[in-house]
Structure 1
Amino acid sequence: MTARKSANQHLRMLLAEADWTGQQLARAVNAVAAENGVRVQYDRTSVAHWLSGSMPRPRVRPLAAEAFSRRLRRTITLLDLGWAADTQSADPDEQQHWPSDSVTRLAHLCKADADPVQGPRLHWSVYQAGEAAVPRQRTPPFTVGTSRTELVPAAAELASTVLAAGIPFFSRALEVGGSHARAALAAYLGNDVSLWLQATASCAGCGVLPSETARLLYLLARMHIDDAHEGLAQQYFRIAFDLVGAAGDTTTQAIVLRAMSSQAGALRHIRQSLIMAEQAFTLVPEDAPHGVHAFVGSQLAVARALAGQPFAARTALLRAETHHRHDMETDNSNAAHDAPAGFHTYGAAAWHFQRGRTLAVLGERSAAAAAFRTSLAHRHPRSHRARALTLAALTQLLLQAGHVEEACASYRELLDLDPHPRSARTQQAVVDLKRRLRPFSNSRAVKSLLDQLDQAERHTTVERSRRLA
Structure 2
Amino acid sequence: MSTPEPNTGLERLYRESGWTLRQLAQEINRIGTERGTPLKYQEPSVHQWLKGHMPKESVRPLILEAFARRLARPITHAEAGFPAPPKELISHPSTVDGLLDLGRQDMDPSRRSVMGAALFSVALAVPNWPDVVGRMEMVGSGKPLRIGMADVDMVIAMTDRISELDDQFGGRHARPMAAAFLVNTVAPYLRADAPEHVRKAMMSAASFLSYLTGWMAVDEGLHGLAQRYYLKGLELAGASADHSTYCHILRGMSVQAADLGHGAPAVRFANASSATSPKSGPRMSAFVSGQQAHSFAIAGDRVNALRSIRETERSMEKAESAAGTFGGYNPATVAYHTAQVRHALGDVAGSISSLQLHFKLRDETDSQRSELRFSSMLAERQLEIGHLEAACNTWNKVLDRHSAMHSDRLDRHVAMIPSLLNSYRANLTARETRERAIQALVS
* Pairwise CA distance, 1:23: 2.8
Letter in 2 for 1:330: S
* Pairwise CA distance, 1:254: 1.1
Separation in structure 2 between the aligned mates of residue 167 and residue 351 of structure 1, nearest angstrom? 26
Aligned to 2:393: 409
* Pairwise CA distance, 1:21: 4.8
* Pairwise CA distance, 1:151: 6.8
Separation in structure 2 between the aligned mates of residue 124 and residue 44 of structure 1, nearest angstrom? 24
* Aligned residue pair count: 436
> CA, structure 1 residues 361+77, in 2 after alignment: closer, same or farther (shift >3 Å)?
closer
1:399 aligns with 2:355: no
2:298 alignment partner, one of 288, 293, 306? 306
> CA, structure 1 residues 314+407, in 2 after alignment: closer, same or farther (shift >3 Å)?
same
* Pairwise CA distance, 1:457: 8.3
Q: Answer whether contact 1:291 1:346 (CA < 8 A) is retained.
A: yes
Cα-to-partner distance string for 1:343-393 (whole Å, 9 max, x where unaligned):
263255544333322233344444432332343352549944212211111
* Pairwise CA distance, 1:216: 1.0
Separation in structure 2 between the aligned mates of residue 230 and residue 5 of structure 1, nearest angstrom? 40
Cα-to-partner distance string for 1:220-258 (whole Å, 9 max, x where unaligned):
111111111111101111111121112222221111111
Q: Answer whether contact 1:224 1:232 (CA < 8 A) is retained.
A: yes
Give the unaligned 5+ runs of structure 1.
336-341, 465-469
Identity of aligned residues (%): 26
Separation in structure 1 between the aligned mates of residue 122 and residue 242 of structure 2, nearest angstrom? 25
SS of 1:272's equivalent in the other structure is helix
TM-score, normalization: structure 2? 0.86
Separation in structure 2 between the aligned mates of residue 418 and residue 26 of structure 1, nearest angstrom? 36
Aligned to 2:59: 60
* Pairwise CA distance, 1:143: 2.1
* Pairwise CA distance, 1:296: 1.6
1:189 aligns with 2:186: no
TM-score, normalization: structure 1? 0.81
Aligned to 1:252: 245
Separation in structure 1 between the aligned mates of residue 10 and residue 377 of structure 2, nearest angstrom? 40
Letter in 1 for 2:352: A
Matches within 5 A, 1:165-204: 165-175=157-167, 176-199=169-192, 203-204=196-197
* Pairwise CA distance, 1:58: 4.7
Q: Answer whether contact 1:301 1:317 (CA < 8 A) is retained.
A: yes
Cα-to-partner distance string for 1:236-293 (whole Å, 9 max, x where unaligned):
11111121112222221111111111111112221111121122112112225x5433
2:205 alignment partner, one of 187, 212, 215? 212
> CA, structure 1 residues 167+229, in 2 after alignment: closer, same or farther (shift >3 Å)?
same
Aligned to 2:14: 18
Give the unaligned 5+ runs of structure 2.
none
Q: Answer whether contact 1:101 1:141 (CA < 8 A) is retained.
A: no
More helix by share: 2
Cα-to-partner distance string for 1:84-126 (whole Å, 9 max, x where unaligned):
49x54xx96x224x2x232221111111111222233111111
Matches within 5 A, 1:97-136: 98=92, 100-130=93-123, 132-136=124-128
Matches within 5 A, 1:26-425: 26-50=25-49, 56-71=55-70, 75-78=74-77, 84=83, 88=86, 94-96=89-91, 98=92, 100-130=93-123, 132-137=124-129, 138-139=131-132, 140-144=134-138, 146=140, 155-175=147-167, 176-199=169-192, 203-287=196-280, 290-325=282-317, 327=319, 329-331=320-322, 343=326, 345-347=328-330, 349-377=332-360, 378=362, 380=364, 383-425=367-409
Q: Answer whether contact 1:240 1:256 (CA < 8 A) is retained.
A: yes
Letter in 1 for 2:260: L
Letter in 1 for 2:128: R
Letter in 2 for 1:13: G
* Pairwise CA distance, 1:443: 4.8
Letter in 2 for 1:371: S
* Pairwise CA distance, 1:78: 4.6
Separation in structure 1 between the aligned mates of residue 264 and residue 145 of structure 2, nearest angstrom? 43
Separation in structure 1 between the aligned mates of residue 159 and residue 395 of structure 2, nearest angstrom? 32
Give me the CA root mean square deviation.
3.3
**Greater mean deviation of Cα atoms: 54-63 or 168-177:** 54-63
SS of 2:261's equivalent in the other structure is coil
Letter in 1 for 2:237: V
Separation in structure 2 between the aligned mates of residue 205 and residue 347 of structure 1, nearest angstrom? 32
Cα-to-partner distance string for 1:141-164 (whole Å, 9 max, x where unaligned):
322254657976xx3312210111
> CA, structure 1 residues 102+401, in 2 after alignment: closer, same or farther (shift >3 Å)?
same
> CA, structure 1 residues 319+82, in 2 after alignment: closer, same or farther (shift >3 Å)?
closer
SS of 2:171's equivalent in the other structure is coil
* Pairwise CA distance, 1:397: 1.6
Separation in structure 2 between the aligned mates of residue 72 and residue 344 of structure 1, nearest angstrom? 34
Q: Answer whether contact 1:228 1:425 (CA < 8 A) is retained.
A: yes
Letter in 1 for 2:336: F
> CA, structure 1 residues 404+379, in 2 after alignment: closer, same or farther (shift >3 Å)?
farther
Aligned to 1:339: none
> CA, structure 1 residues 394+239, in 2 after alignment: closer, same or farther (shift >3 Å)?
same
> CA, structure 1 residues 427+159, in 2 after alignment: closer, same or farther (shift >3 Å)?
same
Letter in 1 for 2:226: A
> CA, structure 1 residues 352+71, in 2 after alignment: closer, same or farther (shift >3 Å)?
closer
Cα-to-partner distance string for 1:385-425 (whole Å, 9 max, x where unaligned):
21221111101221222222111111121222153421111
Cα-to-partner distance string for 1:315-336 (whole Å, 9 max, x where unaligned):
3223323444555x4348xx9x
Letter in 2 for 1:66: E
Letter in 2 for 1:7: P
